[in-house]
Chains A and B, each alone.
Chain A
Amino acid sequence: MIKHWKVLILIVMVFGSLFAVGLKIYPYGRNGVQVIYVSPESPATGQIKQGDFITHLDDQQIQDMQDWKIKTLNLEGNRILRVNGRDVFLEFNKTVGIDVLDIDRTNLNLGLDLKGGTRIILEPAEDENVTSDVIGQVISTLETRANMFGLQEMKFSAVGSDQGGYFIQIEAAGVGKNIVDDLLSRQGDFEAKITRVVTLVNDTGIFKLGDNEHDLVLDGENLIVNSEEIEPDEFFTLDGIEFQYVNITDTGVFLLGKVYESKDIELVYTDPQRSGTQQLGPETFSFFFTVLVSQEGAERFAQITKNVPSYVDLQSGQEYLDSRIILFLDGSIVSDLRISSELQNQVYTTPTVTGTRTTLEDAIQERLTLQTVLRSGALPIKLETTSVQVISPTLGSDFFESAAIAMLIAGVVVLVVVYVRYRSFKASIPLVFIALSEVVIILGLSAANDMTIWGAVLLVNATIMGIAWWKKETIDIYVMIGAILVPLIGMSSWTLDLPAIGGIIAAIGTGVDHQIIIADETISGKKKQKQYDTKERIKRAFFIILGAAMTTIAAMIPLAFLGIGLVRGFAITTIVGVLVGILITRPAYARIVEIMKAKE
């Protein structure tokens, strides 16, 4: 058995790939649909979110996306949806407003052109001065918006063109152009509020605001301010500042005073002097940026903070106010910052926001997020749409079925041609099987979430090679590299789009060609060229194969690294396919042919 260790490694790789593609846990069963978007008009808003699995409608199993479309057409009345295994009761009035996709049956990372969805490429308007930092801001802004929309699956990426310009690519699987358009035009509502706690004695307290004092009286749950009765969560105005009475705590009445809203943030600086990140120590990275706020906002800040006590932070030695400033976007809290006591009672129109994080990436990310929130989610530059691609999900639905049939028929064609040439199935059947195994391995390598599987394959391969070495079997440096390198490639994953499928075809094409060269050197040459033994001929075949594979890889490398790279999938798949070929499958094929020859 171990004599054929090269073949063993191929078999291990094929099984590893099958597991990588197909091994998947279905928490709520294989049938059903996966939610990708719930529109605000849908009765399910707030109850069903992106990523949920819907399996039943009124106790009827939903098979797939097509079935869902039929079952939910003009849905009316009280219905029960089983979402993630629990029942959700909803009243429908013809509008369903839930966009879904089929549940992924494989771990393959399918591209938009196979799955359906929208791809938009944006470019900065001509007169904009664009740096990579600004592009980072734009992407952060769009990500924040997508999160508000419940579209966490949307992918944003910056792509530079060789002429120095920038493009921003948005990929949204399964959703239509209208949703992406909404996302692009959407702007949020920003508010910053400062906390104040007023201590009460016998249900009465004094609220000091700027130079004024206001009496607060508690009446049961309610608060009486200036003889007006305020219920919890209600708003009231004092000295031109809007306050919210949140609740009563152990220490007193908890209030939130609004200091800034969208129009008060006049500018969020992004230049390196006023916005940046620096390392303070090991695992301490600080970020800072300056904001220009309106005079009114600055005055409100001074008024609210004037009478707030402060404390010293024992870790940093800095002095902070007891009050904090809370940032809201569209009513949800997005951040909560401390206020340096130096700012107390100052009418300061250019405050600086600072903070620390344990890694540089986190610090940069936090700065970008806060800058985005302060701009109320507005984009820092004007963008123009330069490319729109909308792919209907049904266009790709029967793709794999027809691709599989086409592949099998192509396999038969190859089998016939090779049989006609050598009049022997001994060369042609293994050849076709090896070609199919190459397809499986390429798919397996591209699949996602497969660290453990490929880790296991790596271990098994190492064991096989160890035993082969122990038993003093012939060493093959290509296979040894391949047995280690290919599982490592498997640990990463890449998107399978239509060009990548083209790449698989290309790789298999060269693969078959090379196997023919091997078959030829061993089988057809046997009568005339007695002076060569089989090993010698296979060595010559590998010289040809290696040269050819290297040129193919060389031709593909530019495609893999060119800026925007819509055919990157083609290039990567071809390169990986050729590598799998020279390092795993061709040596195994050569070994199989050798075995067959030896038996003659």
Chain B
Amino acid sequence: MNYKAYMVIPVILLVLSVGILVNEYSQTGEFFKRSIDLKGGTLVTIKLSEPVDVAGLRAHLTAIFGEVEIRELSGITGQSLLINTNVDVDVDDFLDEISSYGVDVVESSTQQIGATLGEAFWYQAQMGIIIALIFMAIIVFLIFRTLVPSLAVISAVIFDAIITLALMQVFGIPLSLASLAAILMIIGYSVDTDILLTTRLLKGTGPMNERIINTLKTSLTMSITSIGALIVLILFGIAEVLTEIASVLLIGLVIDIIITWLMNAGILRWYMERRGIA
């Protein structure tokens, strides 16, 4: 089969992802849904001892305070509710209303972030991603010192990050400081697999197809161990931050397999055939 045909798949994924983000932008004026730590608002996390009527609680709180969102987080260690709102509320009043609905708030954590601080975090988050990408690109160029393979690695990383961001929107995972950290990790992981592939293909010996298959085995073993460990972490649901980081990493790793093998491998093969290396 022609490997060039496969390269269309990542491109379609990217186009779809950009579509999702642009659609989000046209509806809300922002490309990503940001969590309260990048935007400002109030978040209450409650560890549940008994089931709660989530829809009823949401209606109750929305009637009093305005738009309130509730997410459920469940795992082997128990169930938690994440209640958040962007409306300016008094935390004590908010907790009182939740407990008046019959939810035990003794084991609760609250987080309230002002709009200016949230904006400051958001600004820093954007700077963080941009600086990380620039640093990463410099190192990749230093490692390979050839244009096409370096560009292939960098574009694979950027594809991976954008598609992951779009899928986060689809799965309702907001961009937060934690998920941002996970995106930066994806950049790291993605470069890992790409460097492995590029090094093995450019510097390896033996027939091209054998080199690709051997590398595919290694790379898939790497991804599957990580994915397995992440699924364990998500199933345990130990803490919201960890579940969030693990979910984003999981999405990113799956996308990374697709990008690395359908796109990056293709580019490299095409590059080597043209240069007559293979």
Contact = CB atoms under 8 A, between A and B. Distances in A.
Chain B CB within 10 Å, residue with most, of A177, A529, A559: A559
Chain B CB within 10 Å, residue with most, of A167, A510, A551: A551
A161 interface: yes
B55 to A, nearest CB: 25
A548 interface: yes
Given A123-B116, A505-B242, A395 B109 contact: yes
Instruction: State the majority secondary structure of interface residues on B.
Output: helix
Interface residues of B, number: 73
A489 interface: no
B82 interface: no
B162 interface: no
Nearest to A416: B228
Interface stretch (A6-14, A86-94, A133-141, A407-415): A407-415
Given A413-B225, A517-B218, A554-B139, A498 B239 contact: yes
A459 interface: no
A517 B241 contact: no
A392 interface: yes
A465 interface: no
A116 to B, nearest CB: 8
Interface residues of A, number: 77
B185 interface: yes
Contacts of A177: 91
Contacts of A414: 225, 228-229
A165 to B, nearest CB: 7
Contact of A162 (B120, B135, B206, B225): B120
A165 B91 contact: no
A219 B232 CA distance: 84
A599 B126 CA distance: 52
A402 B225 contact: no
Interface string B192-205: 10011001100101
A543 B181 contact: no
A33 to B, nearest CB: 18
Given A413-B232, A557-B135, A567-B180, A386 B117 contact: yes
Interface in A402-460: 402-403, 405-406, 409-410, 413-414, 416-418, 421
Contact of A558 (B108, B127, B143, B231): B127
B233 A531 contact: no
Contacts of A405: 236
A148 interface: no
Interface in B228-263: 228-233, 236, 238-239, 241-242, 245-246, 249
A409 B77 CA distance: 14
Nearest to B253: A509
Nearest to B115: A386
Chain B CB within 10 Å, residue with most, of A123, A162, A509, A563: A509
A410 B232 contact: yes
B81 interface: no
A521 B242 CA distance: 33
A462 interface: no
Given A390-B109, A557-B135, A558-B127, A502 B245 contact: yes
A410 B233 contact: yes
A516 B221 contact: yes
A238 interface: no
A123 B114 contact: yes
Contacts of B229: 410, 413-414, 505, 508-509, 512
17 contacts: A113-B239, A123-B117, A162-B127, A387-B117, A392-B106, A395-B107, A402-B236, A405-B236, A417-B225, A499-B177, A510-B188, A544-B196, A551-B188, A555-B184, A557-B132, A566-B177, A571-B181
Q: Which 3 interchain pairs have the tightest Cβ spacing?
A: A386-B114, A552-B188, A554-B135
Interface of B: 37, 45, 47, 76-77, 91, 106-114, 116-117, 120-121, 123-124, 127-128, 131-132, 135-136, 138-140, 143, 177-178, 180-182, 184-185, 187-189, 191-192, 195-196, 199-200, 203, 205-206, 210, 214, 217-218, 221-222, 224-226, 228-233, 236, 238-239, 241-242, 245-246, 249
Given A547-B191, A550-B139, 10 more contacts: A123-B117, A390-B110, A394-B47, A399-B238, A399-B239, A529-B205, A540-B199, A566-B121, A567-B177, A567-B180
